[in-house]
Amino acid sequence: MNPHKRFLPGVCAVALCAGLSGAALAQQPDANDVAQANNPLANVKAFNVHNYYIGKLTETDTYANQFWLRYAQPFSIGESKWLMRASLPVMTNPQLPGTEHQTGLGDFNVFAAYLIDVGNPAISFGVGPLINAPTATDDALGSGKWSAGIANVLFDGTNPKFFYGYLLTWQASFAGDDDRADVNLGAFQPILIGQLGGGTYWRSSGIMNYDFENSAYNVPIGLGLGQVFKSGTTIYNLFVEPQWSVASKGAGWPQWQVFVGFNAVFK
Domain count, the chain: 1
Helices (H), the chain: 8-23, 31-38
Which pLDDT score, from 0 to 100, does residue 21 have? 47
Residue 96 is predicted with a pLDDT of 63
- Domain of residue 34: give its range: 3-266
d(CA 32, CA 74): 19
Q: Which whole-number Å values give the CA distances from 150 to 126, 146, 153, 237, in the listed order?
A: 11, 14, 10, 27
Q: What angle do CA 207, 103, 18 make, to 5 degrees?
A: 60
Strand boundaries in 177-233, DSSP class E? 184-197, 200-204, 208-211, 216-222, 224-231
What is the spatial distance between Cα 110 and Cα 55, in angstroms, rounded to a whole number? 27
pLDDT along the chain (267 residues), means of 10: 48 48 61 88 92 94 94 95 97 78 96 95 95 95 97 95 96 95 97 94 97 97 96 94 97 96 93
* CATH code (residue 94): 2.40.160.40
